[in-house]
Amino acid sequence: MTDQKLRKLVLAALFAALTTVMTMVIRIPSPMSGYVNLGDCAVLLSAWILGPGLGCAAAGIGSMLADLLGYPLYAPGTLVVKGLMALAAGLLFRRLRRGESSHALPALLASGAAGEAVMVAGYFLYEAAPIPVGLGLGALANVSFNLVQGVFGLASAGAVYLALFRTRALARL
């Protein structure tokens, strides 16, 4: 294994841990089930910094671990939803920033918004499905809370990414 591959693997493990911690630090319960948290910041950073593949794995695993410790019913759905969120954000970010500087704000905003849209839709489908949550159309009650989480996740991740870019920390990753 090359040093670069090992560095990326270690960074992915760190992002998974960071995602778990950021998801668990602040929990604001939503009315039906689940909670609003800061984990989306780490999910988006994973996608933008690690790329779609490793970002997907780190985001999905880290978010799932947080749910295993508090909301185990959501753990399988969270693994898939947050993984797909990071995958979508990472793929779009990579595509949009071609030919531009890697901190391009439009690429951050568009890819982050796409990822958050995947998260909102994914949790709605998971909660509405008869098994395991079974809320049916009652899952619509959580959409607004997931949108709030998405906005805060995108804003905080964008700010952190731009700060890291300015300090040239991303060039060393």
Q: Which helix (H) or strand (E) holds 29?
A: strand 28-29
- The predicted model gives 7-18 an average pLDDT of 96
**What is the C-alpha separation between 110 and 2, in angstroms, rounded?**
33
CATH class given for the domain over 3-172: mainly alpha
pLDDT tier at 23 (50, 70, 90 boundaries)? very high
Q: Is the pLDDT of residue 173 over 70?
A: no
User: Which pLDDT value is given to residue 34?
Assistant: 66
32 pLDDT exceeds 70? Answer: no
Q: What is the Cα 78 distance to its own chain's centre?
A: 10
Q: Report the alpha-carbon distance of residue 103 to residue 126 in Å, rounded.
A: 33
Q: pLDDT grade, residue 101 (50/70/90)?
A: low
pLDDT at 102 over 60: no
Buried b / exposed e across 86-96, counting CB within 10 Å, b at 16+?
A: bbbbbbbbbeb
User: Where exactly are the structural domains of the chain?
Assistant: 3-172
Answer with the residue of higher pLDDT: 106 or 166.
Answer: 106
pLDDT at position 47 is 98
For the stretch 40-91, pLDDT in tens is 999 999 999 999 999 999 999 999 999 999 889 999 999 999 999 999 999 9
Specify the higher pLDDT residue, 138 or 83. Answer: 83
Q: Does the structure show a pLDDT above 60 at 15?
A: yes
Output the pLDDT for position 43. 98
pLDDT for 99? 67
Mean pLDDT of the chain: 91
